[in-house]
Amino acid sequence: MSSVTFEQVSKRYGGLIAVKDFNLEIEDGEFFVLVGPSGCGKTTSLRMLAGLEEISQGNLYINGKRMNDVPARERDIAMVFQSYALYPHMTVFENMAFSLELQKVPKAEIKERITSAAKQLEIEPLLDRKPRQLSGGQRQRVAVGRAIVRNPAVFLMDEPLSNLDAKLRVQARAELSKLHRKLGTTFVYVTHDQVEAMTLGTRIAVMNQGILQQVGTPQTLYNEPRNTFVAGFMGSPAMNFLPAKLVDQDGQLTVIGNAFTLIIPSEQRSHYAPYRDQEIIFGIRPENLHVPGFIPPGIQPLPFKANLSVIEMMGNELVLYLSTADRQELVARVDPRAPLRIGETVEMVMDISRFYLFDPISGDRLGMVQ
């Protein structure tokens, strides 16, 4: 078993609280991702797990064993850093062998482990080269290989793809997913990139300002965000947020915005009825805004008008930047065949079967079914 448990873990640097009351269960064999903006506490949490940072409060367990006072070298983990941290004067083989030699592993076994890992990662021809002779992608594979040969209980990865170009990052993500399935070992991965988090993680923890916001599968975080932070962070472009009010109008529970009026569907009224007569935030994702003539079947359309200020051609879609009459900004992802011109007022349609309502003060999502 290679489970990890954070129990009310906090980290303080003087008066600064970097991580606060962090509770998390990572199951054996998961590819678990910690995601959030810079300074949110994700790397600090990983470093506490690695034993590179002391825990100020709470308990950390690996496989049920309390690790607070266990030195990093005795935690049976391997870490891949953003910088890869390869020794420049050593060959690839020597870099991969170094930690095993410190553990007094027999030379024959070291060679066997390195050969096996090199074959898995397709770096066999590189074993005699030094880091300066490798590309960024090759260095990343070597760093992963150095971790693999240790046969750790848990792999820790701190933004290991951030130094790669866009094309290589896509390739490397696929390789890491394949490697995880092959090894079946617990991976804990830190990134600020929500696309990496969504594509790699079996589950994801979203952090902000040292506080855990939500934990779930990629689908759960995207479709059922707990608050405006998660809703806005997971997804690219981010969810649109518009100020509105929830009122009773002509016997209907209705969302009144400056550019639209939306009647709450009957099957959802009971979820939102406790919030009537309140100011709210209305949220809708860019892919749920459409151009007439290119509307997918099965949606509940609500027309509105907006001024088109920017068009981004993405090949498989257009990303539109719009502003309503009251100067509220919106982003839409629409069919690339739509005939549009910058500067014109366009008829748009929102799919009101896929909207979200939030509290404007706490940011909490309203009407969540527990």
CATH code at 142?
3.40.50.300
> pLDDT digits over 198-216, tens only?
999 999 999 999 999 999 9
Pair 220, 273 in one domain: no
Query: Quick one: pLDDT at residue 43?
Result: 95
**222 found inside a domain:** yes
| 365 within a domain of the structure (yes/no) | no
71 shares its domain with 184: yes
Query: What is the residue whose two structure tokens read 């549009």?
Result: 340
Residue 325 belongs to domain spanning? 240-358
Tens-digit pLDDT string for the chain (370 aa): 589 999 999 999 999 999 999 999 999 999 999 999 999 999 999 999 999 999 999 999 999 999 999 999 899 999 888 777 889 999 999 999 998 998 899 999 999 999 998 988 889 999 999 999 998 888 888 988 888 898 899 999 999 888 788 888 888 888 889 889 988 999 999 999 999 999 999 999 999 999 999 999 999 999 999 999 999 999 999 999 999 999 998 889 999 998 889 999 888 889 999 999 999 999 999 999 999 989 999 888 999 999 999 999 999 999 999 998 888 999 999 999 999 999 999 999 999 888 999 999 999 999 876 5
Same domain, 32 and 128: yes
Say if CB 305 and CB 259 are below 8 A apart.
yes
Q: What is the CATH number for 267? A: 2.40.50.140
Distance in angstroms (rounded) separating the CA atoms of residues 164 and 84: 12
Number of H helices, E strands in the chain: 9, 20
- Burial level of 163, CB count in 10 A (0-12/13-18/19+)? middle
- DSSP 8-state class, residue 195: H
Task: Flag whether 370 is in a domain.
Answer: no
Are 198 and 86 part of one and the same domain? Answer: yes
Domain end (from 183, 204, 233): 233
Are residues 155 and 288 both part of a single domain? no
Do residues 145 and 217 both lie within one domain? Answer: yes
Would you say residue 367 lies in a domain? no
What would you measure as the largest C-alpha separation in the chain, in angstroms?
Answer: 82
Query: Would 327 be classed as within a structural domain?
Result: yes
Domain boundary, last residue among 233, 252, 277: 233
Instruction: Report the alpha-carbon distance of residue 136 to residue 118 in Å, rounded.
Output: 16
Domain termination residue (choose one: 199, 233, 267): 233
Q: Are residues 203 and 292 in the same domain?
A: no
Domain annotation covers residue 325: yes
Based on the domain organization, do 226 and 252 belong to the same domain?
no
Please tell me whether residues 261 and 225 are part of one structural domain. no
Same domain? 250 vs 197: no
Judgement on whether residues 344 and 206 belong to the same structural domain of the protein: no
Q: Give domain status of residue 46, yes or no.
A: yes
Residue 252 neighbours by CB under 8 Å, 6+ apart: 263, 264
Q: The pTM is what?
A: 0.89
According to DSSP, residue 357 is labeled E
Count up the domains in the chain and report the number. Answer: 2
Helix axes 166-183, 136-148, angle to 10 degrees: 20
| Assigned domain for 284 exists | yes
Query: One-letter amino acid identity for 16?
Result: L
Residues 39 and 168 reside in one and the same domain: yes
